[in-house]
Amino acid sequence: MSKKVYCIAQFQPKPGKADELFKVLQSLEPNSNREDGCLQYIVTRQIASPFAEGKSFPIAFNEIWADLASFEAHCQRSEIKHFFETYCLAEDGLAADWNVCIYSDEPANFDAPVFG
C-alpha cells in the first residue's frame, strides 16, 4: 500500500460553457504537473459507452499525488485558488457545480511498515 492520494475533481459546466471550461482546466495541467508531489494530473471529458452508463459531471480531473501534504499544497497554490474563485465561485463563472473528492488505496487500520 502507499501514502498516495487519488483525487477526482468533477465539474458541471454552465449551459453552453463546456468547451470554454475544458480549455481553462487544461491550462492548469502544465504547472500542476511540475509540482514535485504530482504523479498524474489529467483533465478528461466524459464519453458515451454502453458499458459505462453511470452518472457523473461531464468534465473530470484524474489526479494522483504522492501524499496528502502534496495534494493540500497544490490546493493552496495561487493559480488553483484563482481558478475556483473566478470560474466556480464567481456569479459569472463557467462552472454550475463541482465535486472534489480524495481517496486512498490503503485499507483502514493497515499495518504498513514504518521505515526509519
Q: What is the pLDDT of residues 24-71, one digit of tens each?
A: 999 999 999 999 999 999 999 999 999 999 999 999 999 999 999 999
Strands 38-45 and 59-65: antiparallel
For the entire predicted model, the pTM comes to 0.89
Q: What's the domain range around 59?
A: 5-104
Asked if the structure places residue 100 within a domain, the reply is: yes
Q: Looking at residue 12, which CATH number applies to its domain?
A: 3.30.70.100
Nearest to 79 by CA among 25, 17, 42: 25
| Cα–Cα distance for residue pair 12/103, rounded to 1 Å | 21
Residue whose cell numbers read 472534489: 100
| Cα–Cα distance for residue pair 6/23, rounded to 1 Å | 23
Asked if the structure places residue 114 within a domain, the reply is: no
Angular region, 100: left φ>0, alpha ψ -120 to 50, beta rest? beta
Asked if the structure places residue 10 within a domain, the reply is: yes
